[in-house]
Amino acid sequence: MPRNQQIHLNNRPDGEAVASNFKLVASETPPLQDGQVLVRHHFLSLDPYMRGRMNDAKSYAMPQALGETMGGGTVGEVVESKNERFAVGDKVVGMGGWQEYSVVDANQVGALRKVDTTHVPLSAYLGAVGMPGVTAWYGLVKIIAPQAGDTMVISAATGAVGSAFAALSKARGCHTVGIAGGPKKCKYAVEELGYDACIDYKTHTDAASLAKALKDACPKGIDGYFENVGGMVLDAVLTRMNAFGRIAVCGMIAGYDGAPLPLTYPALILVNRLKVQGFIVSEHMEIWPEALKELGTQVATGKLKPRESIALGIKAAPEAFLGLLKGRNFGKQLVKLV
């Protein structure tokens, strides 16, 4: 059995996450038992939600245990199998975590899924045709429920979720506006992802200034907003929401270091009779097949061309993750292991 390098959570962050919160370890992979498969990971997914799991605090997911491999999505190849449903060479997606190999009980429902790489690249199953893409689909289709001609806005517009959101929103005939950090990301959003406009939040020092930019980009107001950030961005968007607007709350990355995120004008939720709904996409597995079918078609036909930021090797995972939290990535952040 191969030697396996892993990244463990060594200690919990005190405020901002740092590289010393993680520890690189190596161990022998255990022999397979009946029903198990050995997967060699080709790519590891890095996602903002992982920062919340590093805290020992009440949340929608159990905290990441200290001294154990960091959890996370992976795609790879079966290299040994004692399960009749999986053969050596099968390409699979699962939750193998921050490590080079994983031993998976393939009889466990949802633990491992075979994927077809004929028309969709393997790495896309961690992004546009994976959890981030389905997250965008659920928030847009099931919570915001847009009509053709509506105006949609999303923060973190060029990330893995935002890339998919743009394609899905435009396919439904919506005026689609992104909020991202930096001129390069905004240029990419409009020229490659298909946004009608993109606002660089870094050029705005307060919510009032950002709200003015939103007014210019969304002259008919905002009907649906997909929230990934919180803080000043949410304050600005709330002032531009139309009556009976819908807000899908996916993330609040501005508050992941533990600082409170006060809301300046909560009365606008009442005044405009807004629907504000948080969601966790893993709690809605029943919609995944429908979402993945549309997303897979978008990628296979070239209508969705998400960009990837790729760090090389398991040792690079912590710094790549810290960069993701600061917005240094361009598109989906992955770690390439093979």
DSSP string, 189-213: HHHTS--SEEEEGGG-SSHHHHHHH
Q: What is the pLDDT of residues 200-247, one digit of tens each?
A: 999 999 999 999 999 999 999 999 999 999 999 999 999 999 999 999
Alpha carbon distances (Å) from 232 to 102, 157, 217, 252: 41, 16, 17, 11
Whether pLDDT at 335 is above 90: yes
Write out the two tokens for 128: 């546009």
- pLDDT tens, 150-209? 999 999 999 999 999 999 999 999 999 999 999 999 999 999 999 999 999 999 999 999
Sequence-ordered list of residues with C-beta below 8 angstroms from that of 67, at least 6 positions apart, any chain: 8, 9, 10
pLDDT at 58 over 80: no
Rounded Cα distance between 193 and 178, Å, is 10
- Provide CB contacts within 8 A for 114, sequence distance 6+: 86, 90, 91, 92
Domain locations in the chain? 3-127+307-336, 131-282
Residue 75's pLDDT is what?
98
Name the architecture of domain 131-282: 3-Layer(aba) Sandwich (3.40)
Can you give the length of the chain in residues? 338
Name the 3-class secondary structure at 319. helix
Q: Is 1 helix (H, G, I), strand (E, B) or coil?
A: coil
Give the closest residue to 137 by CA, choosing from 172, 103, 104.
172
Minimal CA–CA distance to 72: which of 10, 135, 6?
6
pLDDT at 281 over 90: yes
pLDDT of residue 110: 87
Main-chain dihedrals φ then ψ at residue 275, nearest 5 degrees: -100, 120
Architecture of domain 3-127+307-336: Alpha-Beta Complex (3.90)
* E strands in 3-118: 3-9, 22-28, 36-45, 74-81, 91-94, 101-105, 112-114
| pLDDT of res. 62 | 83
- pLDDT band of 20, cuts 50, 70, 90: very high
* Confidence check: pLDDT of 258 > 90: no
Most distant CA atoms of the chain, gap in Å: 62
- Pairing state between β 151-155 and 175-180: parallel
What does the pLDDT read at residue 23? 98
Token look-up 């960009």 returns 307
Q: What is the 3-state secondary structure (H, E, C) of 212-262?
A: HHHHHHCCCCEEEEEECCCCHHHHHHHCCEEEEEEEEECCCHHHCCCCCCC
Q: Which residues contact 142 (CB under 8 A, 6 or more apart)?
A: 279, 284, 287
pLDDT of 277: 98
- Mean pLDDT of the region 29-55: 95
Please, what sign has the CA dihedral across residues 206, 332, 295, 133? negative
Distance CA 56, CA 260 (A): 16
